[in-house]
Structure 1
Amino acid sequence: MAEAHSAVAFSFAITHDGWDVNFDREVLYLVWESGLRSWKKRLARFRNSVHNGVYPGHLQSLYVLWSLLVAAHFGGFNIPFGLVQKALTILPGTSTLWQIIACLLAALTMWLSVIFLMRYTLKLLLMYKGWMYESRAPGAKISLKTKLWASIVKVLSGWNKPKLYSFQGSLPRLPLPSVEDTMRRYLISVRPLLDDENYKRVERLAKEFEETIAVKLQRYLILKSWWSSNYVSDWWEEYVYLRGRSPLMVNSNFYGTDAILLNNTSKQAARAATFIYLCMRFRRLIDRQELEPIMLQSMVPLCSWQYERLFNTVRVPGIETDKIVHYQDSNHVTVHHKGRYFKVIVYSRGRLLKPCEIQAQIQQILDDDSAPAVGEERLGALTAGERSHWAHIRQTEFNRGHNRTSLHCIERAAFNVCLDDEEYGFDEKDHSSLDKYGRILLHGKGCDRWFDKSFNLCFSTNGFVGFNAEHTWADAPVMGHLWEHVIWSELELGYDENGNTKGTVDTPPPPPIRLQWELDKEDILSAIDVSYNVAQKLLNDVDLRILMYTKYGKGFMKKCRVSPDAYIQLILQLSYYRDAGRFCLTYEASMTRMFREGRTETVRPCTIESSAWVKAMVDPNVSVEERMELFLKASQRHQLGYQDAMSGRGIDRHLFCLYVVSKYLELESPFLQEVFNEPWRLSTSQTPHGQTSLIDLKKHPNCISAGGGFGPVADDGYGVSYIIVGEDKLFFHVSSKRSCPITSSSNFVQQIERSLKDVQDLFVEYMKLKSCQK
Structure 2
Amino acid sequence: MLARVIRSMAKPARMQSSSLVKPVSLTKIPGRYLAHQEGLPKLPVPPLQQTLDRYMAVLQPIISQEELEHTKHLLDEFGKPGGVGERLQKGLERRARKTENWLSDWWLQTAYLEYRMPVVIHSSPGVVLPKLEFHDRQGQIRYAAKLIAGVLDFKTMIDNETLPVEYLGGKPLCMNQYYQILSSCRIPGPKRDTVINYTLSKSPPTHVTIVHNFQFFVLDVYNSDGSPLTVDQICTQLEKIWNSSLQTNKEPIGILTSQHRNTWGNAYNNLIKDKTNKESVKAIQKSIFTVCLDAPMPRVSDELYLSRVATQMLHGGGSRWNSGNRWFDKTLQFIIGEDGSCGVIYEHAPAEGPPIVALVDHVVEFMRSAETVRSPMIPLPMPKKLRFNITPEIKKDIEKAKQNLNIMVHDLDVKVTVFSHFGKNFPKSQRMSPDAFIQVALQLAYYRNYNRCCSTYESASLRMYRLGRTDTIRSASIDSQHFVQAMDDPSKSNQQKVDLLQKAIVAHRAYTNMAINGQAIDRHLLGLKMQAIEDLTSIPEIFMDTSFAVAMHFNLSTSQVPAKTDCVMCFGPVVPDGYGVCYNPMDEHINFAISAFNSCAETNAAHLSHLLEEALLDMRDVIIQLPKSKL
Q: TM-score, normalised by structure 2?
A: 0.90
Partner of 1:219: 90
Give 1:35's aligned residue: none
Partner amino acid, structure 1, of 2:381 = P
Once the two structures are TM-superposed, the CA of residue 279 in structure 1 deviates from its matched residue by: 0.7
Q: Distance in 2 between matches of 1:734 and 1:259?
A: 17
Match of 2:4 in 1: none
Deviation for aligned residue 1:382: 1.2
What SS class does the counterpart of residue 46 from structure 2 fall into? coil
- 8 Å CA contact 1:165–1:289 kept in 2: the answer is no
What letter is aligned with 1:365? I
1:361-418 Cα distance to aligned partner (Å, 9 max, x none): 1122223354356xx5321121100112222222233133210111111111111111
Please list the CA deviations of residues 36-73 of structure 1 after superposition, one character each: whole Å capped at 9, or x if unmatched. xxxxxxxx98x512xx3xxxxxxxxxxxxxxxxxxxxx
Kept in 1: contact 2:454–2:556 (CA 8 A): yes
Aligned-partner residue type, residue 327 of structure 2:
W
Q: CA deviation at 1:228?
A: 0.6
Question: Which of the residues 413, 417, 421 maps onto 2:287?
Answer: 413
The yes-or-no answer on 1:334 pairing with 2:195 is no
Cα shift readout 1:621-670 (whole Å, capped 9, x = no counterpart): 11000001001111001000000000010100000111112223231222
Distance in 2, matches of 1:532 and 1:265, equals 28
Matched, 1:454 2:331: yes
Q: State the partner residue of 1:380.
A: 254
* Pair 1:263–1:219, CA change in 2 (3 A): same
Does residue 194 of structure 1 match 2:66?
Answer: no
Conservation of the 8 A alpha-carbon contact between 1:384 and 1:447: no
CA distance in 2 between counterparts of 1:640 and 1:165 reads 32
| TM-aligned CA deviation for residue 192 of structure 1 | 1.0
Counting only pairs closer than 5 Å after superposition, residues 156-167 of structure 1 correspond to structure 2 as 164-167=33-36
Equivalent residue for 2:223? 348
Shift of 1:290: 1.4
Q: Which residue pairs with 1:723 in the alignment?
A: 584
Q: In the TM superposition, what whole-angstrom CA distance separates every residue of 1:674-710 from its partner, at most 9, and x where no partner exists?
A: 36522111000001335xxxxxxxxxxxxx3222110
Task: Indicate the residue corresponding to 1:48 in structure 2.
Answer: 30
Q: Residue 695 of structure 1 aligns with which residue?
A: none
From 147, 150, 158, the counterpart of 1:275: 147
In structure 1, what is the equivalent of residue 622 of structure 2?
762
CA spacing shift, 1:264–1:489, aligned 2, 3 Å: farther
**Partner residue of 1:683?**
557
> Secondary structure of 1:186's match?
helix
More displaced 10-residue stretch of structure 1: 179-188 or 655-664: 655-664
Aligned match of 2:127: 256
Moved over 6 A (4+): none
Name 2:572's counterpart in structure 1: 711
Return the TM-score normalized by structure 1: 0.73
Instruction: Provide the C-alpha distance between the structure 2 equivalents of 1:372 and 1:208, rounded to a whole number of angstroms.
Output: 65
Aligned equivalents of 1:268 and 1:332: distance in 2?
20
Question: Residue type of the partner of 1:404?
Answer: K
Q: Distance in 2 between matches of 1:537 and 1:464?
A: 24
SS at match of 1:447: helix
Partner of 1:359 in structure 2? 235
Deviations 1:115-161 (A, max 9, x none): xxxxxxxxxxxxxxxxxxxxxxxxxxxxxxxxxxxxxxxxxxxxxxx
Gaps (5+ residues) in structure 2? 1-26
SS, match of residue 193 in structure 1: coil
1:48 match: secondary structure: coil
CA 372–462 in structure 1, closer or farther in 2 if over 3 Å, else same = closer
SS in structure 1 at match of 2:30: helix
Which residue number in structure 1 is paired with residue 429 of structure 2?
559
1:586-605 aligned within 5 A: 586-605=456-475
Aligned equivalent of 1:238: 109
Give the drift of 1:424: 8.2
Over 3 Å counting, the alpha-carbon distance change for 1:415 and 1:369 in structure 2 is closer
* Alignment-derived partner of residue 9 in structure 2: none
Q: Is 2:270–2:394's contact at 8 Å kept on the other side of the alignment?
A: no
Cα deviation code 1:150-205 (max 9, x no counterpart): xxxxxxxxxxxxxx554211110011011101000010111111222111111112
C-alpha deviation, 1:280, in angstroms? 1.5
- SS of the residue corresponding to residue 582 of structure 2 reads strand
Provide the residue aligned with 2:159 in structure 1: 287
SS of the aligned residue for 1:275 comes to helix
CA contact (8 A) 2:257 2:327 kept: yes
Cα 1:282–1:758 change in 2 (3 A) is: same
1:653 lines up with 2:530 in the alignment: no
Given that 1:588 and 1:604 are in contact with CA atoms closer than 8 Å, whether structure 2 keeps it comes out as yes
What stretches of structure 1 of length at least 5 have no aligned partner? Answer: 1-43, 53-163, 495-500, 691-703
What amino acid does structure 2 have at the position aligned with 1:371? Q
Alignment match, 1:633: 503
For residues 308-334 of structure 1, the C-alpha deviation after alignment (integer angstroms, 9 at most, x for no partner) is 111110000111111110113211111
- Deviates most, 320-329 or 759-768: 759-768
SS at match of 1:587: strand
3-state SS of the aligned residue for 1:359?
helix
Q: CA deviation at 1:447?
A: 2.6
Alpha-carbon distance, 1:448 to partner: 2.2
Report the equivalent of 1:439: 311
State the one-letter code of the partner of 1:717. Answer: G
Q: Is residue 681–residue 718 contact of structure 1 (8 Å, CA) maintained in 2?
A: yes
Identify the match of residue 118 of structure 2 among 232, 247, 262.
247
3-state secondary structure, aligned to 1:473: coil
Check 1:424–1:608 CA distance in 2 against 1; reply closer, same or farther (3 A cut). Answer: farther
**Amino acid across the alignment from 2:584:** I
How many residues were matched structurally? 587
- Do the aligned residues in 2 keep the contact of 1:357 with 1:508 (CA within 8 Å)? no
1:522: which partner in 2? 392
Residue of structure 1 in register with 2:15 after alignment: none
3-state SS of 1:418 partner: strand
Greater relative contact order structure (CA < 8 Å, 6+ sep): 2
The SS at the match of 1:348 is coil
State the 1:263 CA deviation. 4.4
Task: Give the secondary structure class of the aligned counterpart of 1:503.
Answer: coil
**1:476 is aligned to 2:353:** yes
Cα distance in 2 for residues equivalent to 1:330 and 1:236: 28
User: Retained in 1: the 8 A contact 2:309–2:341?
Assistant: no
Q: Secondary structure at the match of 1:757?
A: helix
Does the 8 Å CA contact 2:128/2:344 hold for their aligned counterparts?
yes
1:302 is the counterpart of 2:173:
yes
- Whether 1:672 aligns to 2:543 is yes
**Inter-partner Cα distance in structure 2 for 1:321 and 1:282:** 32
After the TM superposition, which of the residue ranges 636-645 and 459-468 deviates more from structure 2? Answer: 459-468
Partners of 2:135 and 2:338 within 8 A in 1? no
Separation in structure 2 between the aligned mates of residue 502 and residue 762 of structure 1, nearest angstrom:
55
CA-CA distance at 1:581 after TM superposition: 1.7
**For residues 396 and 193 of structure 1, what CA distance do their matches in structure 2 show?**
47
In the alignment, which residue of structure 1 is the partner of 2:46? Answer: 177
1:264 to partner: Cα distance:
8.1
| 1:430 partnered with 2:302 | yes
User: Which residue of the partner structure matches residue 487 of structure 1?
Assistant: 364
CA distance in 2, matches of 1:662, 1:430: 53
Larger proportion of helix: 1
Q: C-alpha separation between the residues in 2 aligned to 1:305 and 1:333?
A: 22
Which SS does the other structure have where 2:61 is aligned?
helix
What is the distance in 1 between the residues matched to 2:54 and 2:628?
38
Deviation by residue 1:69-108 (Cα, 9 ceiling, x = unmatched) = xxxxxxxxxxxxxxxxxxxxxxxxxxxxxxxxxxxxxxxx
- Greater shift after overlay, 545-554 or 415-424? 415-424
The AA in structure 1 aligned to 2:603 is T
Deviates more, 1:205-214 or 1:218-227: 205-214
Separation in 1, partners of 2:471, 2:223: 43
Residue 357 of structure 1 deviates from its aligned partner by 0.9
Deviations 1:270-319 (A, max 9, x none): 0101111111121111010111011224x311001111111110000111
